[in-house]
Homo-oligomer: A and B are copies of this chain.
Amino acid sequence: MVQKAVVLLSGGLDSSTVLAIARHEGYETYALSFRYGQRHSVELEAAERVAKALGASGHVVADIDLRVFGGSALTADIDVPHHDRAEDLDVGEIPITYVPARNTIFLSFALAWAETLGASDVFIGVNALDYSGYPDCRPEYIEAYERMANLATKAGVEGRQQLKIHTPLIELTKAQTISRGLELGVDYGLTHSCYDPRPDGAGCRTCDSCLLRIRGFAEIGMADPAPYAAGVA
């Protein structure tokens, strides 16, 4: 029997690679995206393209509104930081673009869907290198989440199945992630990773997310195939 897995999919480079990895490992994949008060919808459009291109068996966009709490540049009226050069990235600090409890909320929805589907596998594209400043991207957080989740559900308590959170990118550099995705046939031209795109969807090329992506493609000597990444819509 084919195992089902829920894959958190933002439509960015990392989560798209994770979806390809889950498919490659033989899972029937159910992609989960969120409308959470982002400034822009280009990310969700990318998620839809990627889910289709990579053969996800289902794709759901869950509505949650984190704006009621405020507190982050990605959901409120705080300015996203921009830098002139990739060298200015400071990945050791907790950045202002950190959304309170975001991965905790996202994983909780994944857990709900997994339980409904009868799935015991959840994939998430967290990375402890690029996002070392985000507390909820570290292995010890993921392990604690998994332990909690196995006490939260019918399946875990009844011992029928143990939830496993897969983090295939957690120790990879951006260049390694891109290389792995290319091996698996990911079309990065479909993805979108900018925190602060222009109204027409073009990338800013100066936010943390754009800079990490630019550096990743530079390291493997390849041009980023996403039109938005070149600064055009």
* A189 neighbours in B (Cβ, 8 Å): none
Q: Are B148 and A94 neighbours in the complex by a CB distance under 8 Å?
A: no
Interface of A is mostly: helix
**Complex formed: what's the CA distance from A69 to B148 in Å?**
21
B104 touches A154 (CB 8 A): no
7 chain-A/chain-B pairs, Cβ below 8 angstroms: A63-B63, A63-B64, A100-B111, A103-B152, A136-B151, A138-B151, A148-B148
Cβ 8 A contact of A152, one of B104, B113, B157: B104
Take A100-B115, A112-B101, A115-B100 as given contacts and tell me if A141 and B152 are in contact as well, using a CB distance cutoff of 8 Å: yes
Note all chain B residues with C-beta closer than 8 A to A136: 151-153
Q: Give the distance to chain B from A157, nearest Cβ to Cβ, in Å.
A: 4
Central interface residue in A63, A101, A145, A156, by most chain B CB within 10 Å: A101
| Residue in contact with A104 in the complex, picked from B60, B69, B148, CB distance below 8 Å | B148
User: In the bound complex, how far is the Cα of B65 from the Cα of A52, in angstroms?
Assistant: 23
CB pair B115 A111 closer than 8 Å: no
Report Cα–Cα, A65/B63, bound state, in Å: 6
Distance between Cα atoms of A112 and B20 in the complex (Å): 30
- B64, B141, B154, B157: the one contacting A148 at CB < 8 Å is B141
Q: Residues of B contacting A68 with CB < 8 Å?
A: 60, 62, 113
Instruction: Report yes or no: A156 in contact with B144, Cβ–Cβ below 8 A.
Output: no
Chain B residues whose C-beta falls within 8 Å of the C-beta of A113 in the assembled complex: 68-69, 100
**Do B144 and A157 have beta carbons less than 8 Å apart?**
no
State the CA gap A157–B138 with chains docked (Å): 11
- Minimum Cβ distance to chain B for residue A57 (Å): 15
- Name the B residues within 8 Å of A100 (CB-CB): 111-113, 115-116, 153
Indicate whether A64 sits within 8 Å of B66 (C-beta atoms), given known contacts A100-B112, A104-B108, A116-B100: no
